[in-house]
Amino acid sequence: MASIFGFRSRDPARDRQTDGSRLDRLAKLFEQIAVEIEAERAGLENRYRTKATNAAFLVEAMENGSTSDRRSSEVSALTTSILNCERRIAELSRQNGMMKELRHSLDTVFDENAASDSATAAAEYTRPAGAGRG
């Protein structure tokens, strides 16, 4: 039969180190994903501006009669592409916001753990000698 007194817990400093390492890996992952989202958004915005400019010049040329009406299918394709770009940019903005919220939540968890550990350490430090653990 195992004795209850034979149970040993891990050192709280080691727990804090493990938690800190885990939270750091999560933070780096969130940052990496945020960078990927931002890169996609930036590239998409560049293409969006190009398509919008091309569509504007094409419509102007059609209105001035300097191009054939069959180019209206190009305008339609550009319009569809522009609308798709706008939807995707909006989705990427939502994803970026979520990454920021997750990162903030991670900081909150880390801060709460640090505050809890500090309070526990302070309580143990101020406990009178021989009082034992609570």
What pLDDT digit, counting tens, does each position of 69-85 carry?
678 888 889 999 999 99
- The pTM for the full model equals 0.68
Answer whether residue 49 shows pLDDT above 70. yes
Q: How confident is the model at residue 64 (pLDDT cuts 50, 70, 90)?
A: confident
Q: To which residue do tokens 């010049």 refer?
A: 57
Q: How confident is the model at residue 40 (pLDDT cuts 50, 70, 90)?
A: very high
- pLDDT at residue 80 in the model: 94
> In this structure, are residues 78 and 51 in contact, taking their beta carbons and an 8 Å threshold?
yes
Q: How confident is the model at residue 134 (pLDDT cuts 50, 70, 90)?
A: very low
Q: What is the mean pLDDT of residues 11-39?
A: 91
CATH top-level class of 20-118 = mainly alpha
Q: Considering the chain, what is the average pLDDT of its residues?
A: 83
Cα torsion 66, 70, 74, 76 to 10°: value is 110
Q: Where are the domains of the chain?
A: 20-118
Q: To which residue do tokens 């569809």 refer?
A: 80
